[in-house]
Each structure stands twice: as structure tokens, then as C-alpha cells.
Structure 1
Amino acid sequence: MALEKLFIFGLGFSAQEVAKALLRQEPLAQIAATSRQERSLADDGLDRVAMHIFDGERPGATLMPDLTEATHLLISIAPNTQGDPVLNAHIDHILAAPKLEWIGYFSTIGVYGDADGDWIDEHFATQPTSDRLQWRLEAEAQWSDLAQKRGTPLAILRLAGIYGPGRSAFDKLRAGKAHRIVKKDQVFNRIFAPDIGAITLKAAQHRLSGLYNLCDLEPAPPQDVIAHAAGLLGIEAPPAIDFETADLSPMARSFYASNRRVSSARIRAALDYKLVAPTYREGLRAILEHENNRALHD
């Protein structure tokens, strides 16, 4: 199904992958998006995207014509103490958007909280462990209410830890900021950014509705990912550091408070989708190939 006009609130790392995926399929596709400040997208291959400033505090001054014409809407802005910035500024405009056929909302698997390392899916009861995650759940509910009032399909996409070119273990290793924190039996799911782009685009094209997890097939200990990346770079991995004695920020430490293995079977079945990176190994290998290809053409 053709996607006539996509509007993205928050053209960040993940949302850019959606725009790139759409432009690869439909080079003349119409895309508009917001950013907190002016930026150049030429180096990202997204110079055709019509950009608008939206600071999350007041309605975007220039975006209304593009928002009104949008057939598909993607929300990639996190809620805060004031609630969902997009809804606070533009709920009436979105409710009245005459051509809108589908809404996608990027959330996080963090809302599930702890599962003692067990496998879970979308039926697992949410138990947010921070205000930040509680705000996410409240935003999910608000978007669900809006979609119901409009009668518009809404896909809530709960993302695992995001990585891709420019944001991976390679970058941390090269910057000297990689740490192999070891906590017994701790694992994390991840999701490769190009998989986010491809899945979200397919969900939009099929006007998919419902709640879905986006994550890989092999939740893995974070220290293993760092070690594997170091091996691919041909360098020595940083030493293992015990979690209990590690010098971590409260935010970083909070990520280790929950241990779960999250399934993405539902979204893969709904869209008949095969992950580009079913594990971190394929993802890291693809990033390295991407970097090498860019180096050859620079």
C-alpha cells in the first residue's frame, strides 16, 4: 500500500531510519518532520524531508499545512513531567486531521519492568520502575484514546535498546567509554535501527493496529556485546567490572534493575518480517560493513 504523506514528530535516530526506508522504496515520497532546532540532513540522505521546528513546549509555528495533509503520523518524542509534548500542543489538530489513516507511537519495552529473566510478550503486566516509564504508559493510553476517538489504527511499538551505525559498541570502544559491567544472569534485548525503520514502514503501509514489541531474538549480557565488538575491531576488550562496585550514574544503574527476555514474535508474524539482525552479532557485522563501505567512498 502506497504511503502518501508521512509526518514524523521527532526526527531522531530511530525515526530517521523510517524516513530512509520509505525513501528507498518511494524516492518521491512526501515526508515532513520536526526537530527541536534547525539542522542539515544532507549528509543523512534526508534532504528531501520538509523540516519544522517543534520545541515540545508550544505548537510548531510552520508545521500545520504538512500535518493537515498527512496520511500517516509517527510519534518519536518522549513524554516528560508535563505529559506528552505532541498531545499537549497539537491534540486538536491531530483529532481533526482530515486525511490521517494511521498513527505509530514509539514506546519502550522498559515499561514491563522486571521479569526475573523470564521470557515475556505483550500480555505481560506492565510494572514501570521509574517516573519516566510511568509517563510512557500514560502517553500510550492517551494516544490509544485519541486513536479510538478518531477511529484510526494505532500501532504502539515498544522498542528495545536501539543500536546502529553511529550508535553502537564500536563507538563506545573507540571513544574509550566502553565498560564491561557484569551482573550475574543479567541480559538485555536490543533492536537494530534499520530493523526499526523497515518494520515501522511496513506497519504504516499495512495500517497495523495494536501493541507490539520490537526486539531481537537473543537477549544477551552487555559484557558479551562489548567483547564481541572489540574482537571485530581486533582490539582488547576492556576488563570486566562487577556491577556492585561499578561507578554508574543513577540512570545507568536503573537499567540493571530489570531483567527480562522479551519476545518480538507478534510483530514478526503480523508483518511476515525477518529481522536483518536477529542477534547483536549480525547487527555489529552490518555496522562494520557499513563503515567500511563509507570509508571506500569518502
Structure 2
Amino acid sequence: MRVAILGCGYVGLELGRQLTAAGHDVVGVRRSDAGLDAIETAGFEAVRADLTDEASLVAVPDVDWAVYAASAGGRGVDAARAAYVDGLRTVVAAFGTRESPPDRLVYTSSTGVYGDHGGDWVNESTTPDPATDRQRVLLEAERVALKETATHDIDGTVVRFGGLYGPDRYRMDRYLDGPVTEGYLNSIHRDDAASVVAHLLTADVARGEVVLAVDDDPVSKWDFADWLAEQCGVSPPKKWTVAERAATTEGEVSRRARANKRCANDRLHRLGYELQYPTVREGYLPAIRAFRDD
């Protein structure tokens, strides 16, 4: 199959490597020189295009599958809307009106759309309740991925990733230096995140549906920080309650600090996917070894 990875960054590069190794014809799309160089280094075709510019997307060839994995260039709501909603809507319109539109489009979203559930479990049947404007933008983009694709006979799928980590993104200081806010980690290793998307495409499952992509153990942040400190041979970090964290911040950051939930991945397993890194403990072993050797 021919696949376009639109916004081919941290997860997209690994997805491209995996699909290429499996014999698929992959095109990675970025607009920056650095992004294009990274795609070529990863070993598949690079195409320059601006996802918010329909005329620019002419450079991207027809494909069987499209994966929209763009990230916002800035932290603000306007940047998020441009990247997630405007870009996705432009891509759907541009590819959907082609003589040979893609059969499927996978949009990579976030578990942040659930908002706060007081530490309770959530799954695909839980109604999203975004806590911030940025998360509300993500939910709006999900509607584009599921509804507007259907008007062009494209089957959309939304994958809600937990917190991404892995090579170059272990952020050890966040847990070792502290303070660490109470709550749960809903995580997924980069390699698993990419493999989940590949599995949904190649196994031909979850058309028109939402899938939660997280590991098997939404571990307590405090417990994980203590375990990591022990593994690294350092003192445990300072702990903050949510109230203490919120008292030091304002606005949306405070609401995000209260967005506490545990994400269930039962459906992911029922779809036939088995995690390479079932918990963050396995996933962090390379970072722990590097810390010890430093």
C-alpha cells in the first residue's frame, strides 16, 4: 500500500520506518528543511507541503492510506487550531476530491480530551469533557476526522494517545527533580504508538471508530517517581498534591493539573494489538541504564 504520513514527526518517523520495513510505499510530509532531512534519514520518501495550504498538497501523491500526525508549532490555542483543525480539514478536502482518494485516514489525538474524572477509569465509551481550550480543539479535530471524511467516502479512525515517551523524550528530570504532582500516568512508548497505527491500518480494523492507545498500567505518578529514583540510585523527589500544584499556576494550566483519570486499553487488546512496552517500567529501562552510566 502507499501511505502518506502528514506531519511526519516523532511518531510519524517511527511509523514510516515500520511500514517501509513491512514493504509499504511511504511518503512523509513536512514543510521544514529539518523535517524533510529527518524523513530521508529514516529511509523513506520526503515531500514538502504545508498542510493548511490546499495548493501545496498537490505535491503529495495519491495514496491508499493517510495518517494525520501533525503537531502544533506553538503552545497557544491558535497554533493548535491551525495544526489540528484547519490542517486536517484542508487535507480531507484536498484528498477527498481527488479521482483516487485514500481509503482510510487515521488521526492521532490525545487522551487529554477526557478532562478530569477524579482518578476514575475512562474508555472509548466515556464522553469527552475537555479541560482546556487546546483540548477542545483536539476534540473538534476528531469530529473532522470521523464526520468530514465520511462525506468523501474515506473511513476515518481516531487514535487517542496517552503521554508519549521514548528515545529523546524520557524527561528524567521531570520525575527525579520534582516536584511531582499526584495523579495517574497514562502513557505509551513511541514505538508502540507507531505500531498501533500500523496495526489498525494493516489489520483493517476500527474503521470509523475511536481507539485508546495507552499501556497496561496507568501508574500513580508518585509511585512511578519513587520507583524511578530507586532504580537510578537517587533520593525520591518532592511531591505535590493537585491543590499545591494549582496554587502555583493560573488558568488552563491549573485545570490541566486537575485532569486526573485512568485510561483503559481493553479495546486495543481486543483489536489484536500486543504492547512491546506494557508499562513505563519496561519502557524506561534504556533511560535508567543511560542515567547510571552517565
Q: Does the pair score TM above 0.5?
A: yes
Contact 1:155 1:211 in 2 (8 A): yes
The verdict on how the C-alpha distance between 1:242 and 1:11 changes in structure 2, with shifts beyond 3 A counting, is: same
The verdict on how the C-alpha distance between 1:116 and 1:188 changes in structure 2, with shifts beyond 3 A counting, is: same
Match of 1:200, as an amino acid?
V
Give the secondary-structure state (helix, strand or coil) at the position aligned to 1:8.
strand
User: Alpha-carbon deviations, 1:93-136, whole Å to 9, x = none?
Assistant: 21124051211000111111222211221111111111111111
CA distance in 2, matches of 1:258, 1:12: 26
CA distance in 2, matches of 1:260, 1:13: 25
* TM-score (ref. length: structure 2): 0.82
The verdict on how the C-alpha distance between 1:207 and 1:201 changes in structure 2, with shifts beyond 3 A counting, is: same
Establish whether residue 149 from structure 1 lines up as the match of residue 145 from structure 2.
no
The residue that corresponds to 1:37 in the other structure is: 32
The residue that corresponds to 2:140 in the other structure is: 138
The residue that corresponds to 2:66 in the other structure is: 73
The residue that corresponds to 1:223 in the other structure is: 222
User: Alpha-carbon deviations, 1:123-159, whole Å to 9, x = none?
Assistant: 1111111111111111111221222123232211011
CA distance in 2, matches of 1:206, 1:190: 23
Give the secondary-structure state (helix, strand or coil) at the position aligned to 2:204.
coil
The residue that corresponds to 1:240 in the other structure is: 239
Contact 1:31 1:48 in 2 (8 A): yes
The verdict on how the C-alpha distance between 1:117 and 1:95 changes in structure 2, with shifts beyond 3 A counting, is: same
* TM-score (ref. length: structure 1): 0.81
Unaligned runs of 5+ in 1: none
User: After the TM superposition, which residues 147-186 of structure 1 pair with which residues of structure 2 at under 5 Å, given as runs?
Assistant: 147-170=149-172, 172=174, 178-183=177-182, 186=183
Contact 2:96 2:152 in 1 (8 A): yes
CA distance in 2, matches of 1:47, 1:93: 26
Contact 1:111 1:136 in 2 (8 A): yes
CA distance in 2, matches of 1:89, 1:153: 16
Give the secondary-structure state (helix, strand or coil) at the position aligned to 2:168.
coil
User: Alpha-carbon deviations, 1:172-216, whole Å to 9, x = none?
Assistant: 57xx8x423243xx2121111111111110111123211110011
User: Alpha-carbon deviations, 1:245-278, whole Å to 9, x = none?
Assistant: 44457555433212211111112211x1211122
Contact 1:180 1:226 in 2 (8 A): no
Match of 1:118, as an amino acid?
D
Match of 1:50, as an amino acid?
A
The residue that corresponds to 2:275 in the other structure is: 275
Match of 2:230, as an amino acid?
G
User: After the TM superposition, which residues 1-298 of structure 1 pair with which residues of structure 2 at under 5 Å, given as runs?
Assistant: 4-26=1-23, 29-39=24-34, 40-41=37-38, 45-54=41-50, 56-59=51-54, 61=56, 63-66=57-60, 68-78=61-71, 80-81=80-81, 84-97=85-98, 98-170=100-172, 172=174, 178-183=177-182, 186-208=183-205, 209=207, 210-246=209-245, 247-248=248-249, 252-270=253-271, 272-288=272-288
Residue 60 (structure 1) shift: 6.1
Match of 1:113, as an amino acid?
G
Identical counterparts, % of pairs = 19
RMSD over aligned Cα, in angstroms? Answer: 2.7
The verdict on how the C-alpha distance between 1:239 and 1:60 changes in structure 2, with shifts beyond 3 A counting, is: farther
228-237 or 102-111, which deviates more: 228-237
Q: Count the aligned residue pairs.
A: 277
Residue 235 (structure 1) shift: 3.3
Give the secondary-structure state (helix, strand or coil) at the position aligned to 1:41.
helix
CA distance in 2, matches of 1:30, 1:227: 44
CA distance in 2, matches of 1:80, 1:38: 21
The residue that corresponds to 2:74 in the other structure is: none
Unaligned runs of 5+ in 2: 72-78
CA distance in 2, matches of 1:127, 1:60: 35
CA distance in 1, matches of 2:251, 2:47: 35
